[in-house]
Every structure is written in C-alpha cells, then in structure tokens.
Amino acid sequence: MSDLISNLEKLGDEFGTVIAPLADEQAIRAAQAQFLGKKGKVSELMKELGKLPPAERPLVGAAANKVKATIEELTAARLNELAQIVARADLARSVDVTLPARPVGGGHLHLLSQVRLEAVQIFAELGFVMAEGPQIDTDWNNFEALALPKEHPARDMQDTFYISPEIVLRTHTSPVQVRTMLTQEPPIRIIAPGHVYRRDDDPTHSPMFTQLEGLAVDTDISFSDLKGTLLHFVKRFFQRDLAIRLRPSYFPFVEPGAEVDMQCSFCGGSGCRLCKFTGWIEIGGAGMVDPDVFANCRIDSERYTGFAFGMGLERMAMLRHNVTDIKFYYEGDLRFLEQF
C-alpha cells in the first residue's frame, strides 16, 4: 500500500517536470491528459487498488485525489504564468506613433468611366440631358419599335442573348430613344450611355461593351444639326481640329442613315495602319429619325423631326489613349488601369 501511495505522490513531481518547459496551452493540456485522462498514469496506478484489502483502499483513494488536485493546480499555475509572459511582452512592445504611415495607393475612375463622364459632359454643354435604360429590355424596345421586325435581316448583325423570346440583353443603346420618346414630349435632347451586349468576341469586339446614344427631337431639327453636333463632340473629345464625314449607310431606324467617320487621330488623315491607310476611322452610326419610329413612339412626324446617333465608347477611348485590345478594359489588370 505504501508503495502505491508513494508512487502516486511521485506523479505530482513528475508532472511538474514535464510541463515546466512547455510553452503553449495545447501542449500543457495534452500533458495533463497523459496524467489525468482515462488511460493516464493516475488511472493506471489506481488499477492496483482492487488488489488491496478494503480497509486500505480509502487511504490510497485520498492520495489519488490529492495528486489529481496537485496536477490541476500545477496546470493552472503554468497556464497563468504563460498568460503573464504574453501580457508582459505585449506591454513591452513600443510603438512609434510618429512614424509616417505606409502610403495607400489611391484609386481612381476606370478609363471607360472617365471617358463616359467626359463625353456626357460635352453633350450636356450643348443642352443634352443624360438618360438611362435597363440592360435587359424587351424585344419590342430593342428591335420592333426601331423598325427591326422579327425577320428583318439587319437583326443578324445584332444577335444577342435572349432571356426569353420577348426579353433580350439590349444590343445597343437605341432602345433608350424609344423609352424617352414614349414618356417625354418634344423638345427632346438626351445623351444615353450604357452597357450593351452582342454575340461577338475578338480583339476589337467584346460580348459586352459600352455605347453612347444621342437623340434630339424638335420642330426644326435638320441633318446639319446632326453634323454640327458630332463635329463639335469630336473636336472637344480629342482636343484637336479633326474633321468628320458622314457616309450614306443603312440603319432601319433612321432615314437617311449614315456611318460616322472621323479623321484618323493617329496620322491626322495621311494614312496609317490604324485607319487602314484611308485617313478615316469609323466611330458610330447616325441619321434622321425614321417616321416609322416616331409613329411607334406616338410622336407626330409631320410636326417633329429628329436626329439620332450611337457611338462605341471603348472605340473612342482606344483611339484617344492608344489602347490596342478591347479586353484590357475588363481584365482589371492594374498595369493597364493605373496608366489612366
């Protein structure tokens, strides 16, 4: 019996030696389990208890309880010691509050946002008010009302993503014209920037891109107003005296319709690779609002005339900032973004 008791008592000392070098709570708890756990050293010794005469058992039991208490106390004391070491180290840390802060890089607007705001601003100076429409629109607003009925061949150039047969991701910002004319009385002057979607994907085309749509409707709007407006915009946007030209073209929603070219901003018109040695670069479409579109939008085409235009904003920014791939706008690569 006395052997057993002295062995139990030794466990207290042994535990103290084991945990003395341990410096983290997990290791200390693991060591504690090796002594007090179900298969721990204390339990192992207690298996001997059954071999003793009943009269001696209470004494051994008391010794076991004592060693258990000792181990628990040692554990708590060591953990407390460690906590104090950590707290002391924390307090000893010195912070130099006069140290200058590490610089945090300032963000800025994306090139396309800058260009969009600037373009809208230029038109605002001419009396155009910004308008917006949803990127998911009805087939009617995007096509039908703009004289592009279901089987019209011009729809081929604007294949899009269909949400349902009657709901599409808009292929151009022209439906904003329809939405505006249906809800506002002339005189109308709007400039509508926004994302548009098409089934297109190559270095100069992206399935999502940004257009800038303009519409002016009044009692005496003429083709020369259109030309003057576009010329003013190109000069202001490129800050150079660049010419524009309007080439006859077909868009179902305007009559006459035109392709808008500007003098090449790289070579100034003498011819280079960018303008394919023509001296001109296409920037959008334009024309006089077709009377059918007026009729669809409940505007009296005997009383009112109007011009409309649509331009690609990525294109404009590419020309002005020498961006060589449309994907650069959307990849989020800081090496590109930080340049502007």
Residues in touch with ligand DAH (CB under 6 A): 172, 174, 213, 251, 254, 257, 285-287, 308-310
**Closest distance to ligand DAH from the beta carbon of 140 (Å):** 16
Measured over the CA atoms of residue 274, residue 275, residue 277 and residue 279, the dihedral's sign is: negative
**Closest distance to ligand DAH from the beta carbon of 288 (Å):** 8
Cβ atoms within 10 Å, residue 110: 16
**Closest distance to ligand DAH from the beta carbon of 308 (Å):** 3
Among candidates 172, 204, 184, which has minimal Cα distance to 323?
A: 204
State the Rg of the chain over Cα: 40
**Closest distance to ligand DAH from the beta carbon of 113 (Å):** 21
- In the complex with ligand DAH, which residue's Cβ is closer, 19 or 213? 213
- In the complex with ligand DAH, which residue's Cβ is closer, 67 or 234? 234
φ, ψ dihedrals at 305, nearest 5°:
-125, 165
Burial of 289 (0-12, 13-18, 19+ CB in 10 A): buried
- In the complex with ligand DAH, which residue's Cβ is closer, 41 or 198? 198
- In the complex with ligand DAH, which residue's Cβ is closer, 237 or 309? 309
- In the complex with ligand DAH, which residue's Cβ is closer, 237 or 253? 253
Residue 70 near residue 12, CB atoms below 8 Å:
yes
Task: Give the containing element (helix H, strand E) for 197.
Answer: strand 188-197
Helix, strand, coil % in the chain, rounded to nearest 5: 45, 20, 35
**Closest distance to ligand DAH from the beta carbon of 287 (Å):** 4
